[in-house]
Structure 1
Amino acid sequence: MSQGSDEVREAIAGEKRLMDPDVRTSRSLAGQLLDPEFVEVGASGRRWTYDDMLAALPELDGAVEGGPRYEPTEITGVLLAPGLVHLTYETVVDGRRARRSSLWRRQDANTPWRMYYHQATPVPADSM
């Protein structure tokens, strides 16, 4: 399954919610979308854990209403296995491009989809 599956659509919706300033500034809302075992390797190369991200998210890009916001493009996804979706896309925030990859997982049918892993790779300005 890919693009059109309910699982992929739900993961994409969660990914977009994490870019919303209201979610980024709310530890409670962001915590509902991040898996307790969440890990990120950011565009800076920094490794983030669940607790690190929840603490820093309100101060990171995209958290201020009226400020720079993430502009995602070409989000695609594939269901890798039951309960595991892989998304890829690009973002631009404040003129900086990054290629992004996320794994979303759902433990069972009674739990929500949550971001389990995220990687951001900066795109050089002269790259297509």
Structure 2
Amino acid sequence: MDHHQGSRFFADSLADADPELFGAIGRELRRQQDQIELIASENIVSRAVLEAQGSVLTNKYAEGYPGKRYYGGCEFVDEAETLAIERAKQLFGCTYVNVQPHSGAQANQAVFMALLQPGDTFMGMD
């Protein structure tokens, strides 16, 4: 059942829904196309990468591994991840590959270990 049938939910472009944000993104795109960025942590990606990162796959939470997810409805995420795995194995000539990024929890733990002492108090947000 399409809960958004008859609405503009999947039809409106960003330019229609939020012209100001659309304009800011367009100006940033032109800046990146016209200037060389010398910050190591920044990079420019191709249109194909932007399309993939802005796809409906970002709507899906897919914890676990292909075919062994903790939530249903992951068959197309599994397809995309399996494609990435097979391509990485071929590229690097290896048998096993994990293409999943490290978690935010691991990053938080690294910060805690670096900055906190036993008994320190910190605030967590739900």
- Structure-1-length-normalised TM-score: 0.25
Larger RCO (CA under 8 A, 6+ residues apart): 1
Larger radius of gyration: 2
Question: Which structure is higher in helix share?
Answer: 2
- Structure-2-length-normalised TM-score: 0.25
Question: Which structure is higher in strand share?
Answer: 1
